[in-house]
Structure 1
Amino acid sequence: MLKNIIFDFGNVIMNYNPDEILNHYELSRQEHNLLRKAIFESKEWSEIDAGKIDEKQATKIFVSRVPDNLKNKVNQIMATWPENVDFYEPVFNYIEHLRKDDYKIYGLSNTGMEFANFVKDSEMGNYFDGYVFSAQERLMKPDSRIYEKLLNRYSLKAEESLFIDDLKANTEAAKKLGMQTFTFKIDKLDELQDYIASH
């Protein structure tokens, strides 16, 4: 019997799209492209998620790589980008419905702590019963140990837990541990609801 629903963040509870994030800042096309490469497509961006460096260290590196006229923009983007992400309201409405039906809701995300804390400290944090974040654990999906951290920390049984992620490699890794899985895109929300209703 299904008791626990575990959500990835990027492209599951929100639309993670660097171009759309950067559209919130006043940038020319050239500046937009330069900052996308310098920040979101950098190796340091992945290292933030992996817990190898933190956002402050990464910001200094990004600032050092851009022309003088964009240094303040880098600081501004790094300080404010989480507020400029579009969260999927229908997903949160559905999570609210699941909570009323006594499902436990968890977050398992490859993300840095700035974004993790932004979600936890906002009203979105009220939707979750617990979290595991890659930067904090210094483990990244699809490493099996990060799923095991979640199961062990909250005393969850794998077979009673559904893991939802947009990447097949991540759902496959959860499946190997005996979890139920669903590979998600926002246009599959109806399919997800049908799956949960039938389990």
Structure 2
Amino acid sequence: MAGIENIVFDMGQVLLRFDGMLFSHAFTSSEEDAHALNNALFSNPSWALLDAGVISEDTMLAIARRRLPERLWPSLEDAAANWDLHQPAIDQTNDLARRLHQAGYSLYLLSNAGVRFDRAKGRIPVLPLFSGWVVSAYEHLMKPDPAIYALLCQRYGLDPSSCLFVDDNQDNVEGARKAGMSAYRFTTATDLEVHLGDFGITL
């Protein structure tokens, strides 16, 4: 079996924060309104359909509008258009990824995310060092379906056994393992670095 040569990172809550309440506070003036906006938009079950590329951003907006009083519609529209501008990088993970690249490991991204990725990728400091990425909305596949991990490997000529997948969601970690990858559930960059040796990775 090949040793680990490639590190495959999730994006949300690994390289960039994804926090619906953080975003909602940026577009509302009270805790109550922030909770309402978050529930209508970012925590709405239909958000997964946006990430899957099944619905458009306009459709997501219409779905969310039905869950809010009319007085919050302007806040909703502003949030739907600009939430990603309030999405900070997780500096510690980006720094660790940079050091992994310097140590000779190739970096890839595999994310359940919508087409807003085209804007979000500019806020991932380390992304210019990545050799490629696969994003669910463009592929109409989502983690933890093993097919999306296989797609990443096929597209970039990777042996799954040479890949370590890092994600904060346990279901996605299990999906990677089913696809033949090593996988680690992310909590913090510090914890990830401590456990890299478990996979034969040295910095």
Is TM > 0.5 for Structure 1 vs Structure 2? yes
How far apart in 1 are the matches of 2:201 and 2:109?
22
Match of 2:192 among 171, 189, 194: 189
Residue 118 of structure 2 corresponds to which residue in structure 1? 117
Structure 2: gaps (5+ residues): none
- Whole-Å Cα distance in 2 between the matches of residues 169 and 58 of structure 1? 24
Q: In structure 2, how many angstroms separate the alpha carbons of the residues matched to 1:86 and 1:159? A: 32
Unaligned runs of 5+ in 1: none
> Tell me, what secondary structure is at the counterpart of 1:75?
helix
Q: Which residue of 2 aligns with 1:146?
A: 148
Aligned pairs, number: 198
C-alpha change, 1:34 and 1:134, in structure 2 (3 Å) is same
Taking the aligned partners of 2:153 and 2:99, their CA distance within structure 1 comes to 23
- Quote the Cα distance in structure 2 between the aligned partners of 1:26 and 1:74: 9
**What displacement does 1:121 show?**
3.6
For 2:15 and 2:198, the matched residues in 1 are separated by 17
**Structure 1 length-normalised TM:** 0.90
What TM-score results when the alignment is normalised by the length of structure 2? 0.88
Percent identical residues: 30
CA-based RMSD: 1.9
Contact 2:89-2:123 at 8 Å conserved across structures: no
Change (3 A) 1:196 1:87: farther
- After superposition, the Cα gap between the structure-2 partners of 1:59 and 1:163, relative to the gap in structure 1 and judged at 3 Å, is same
Greater percentage in helix? 1
Q: How do residues 96-135 of structure 1 correspond to structure 2 at under 5 angstroms?
A: 96-114=98-116, 116-122=117-123, 124=125, 125-135=127-137
Q: Structure 1 residues 26, 177: CA separation in 2 closer, same or farther (over 3 Å shift)? A: closer
Detail structure 1 runs of 4+ shifted over 6 Å in the superposition: none
Q: Deviations over 1:102-121 (max 9, x none)?
A: 2111111111111x112334
2:18 equivalent in structure 1: 16
CA distance in 1, matches of 2:111, 2:48: 13
CA drift at 1:141 = 0.8
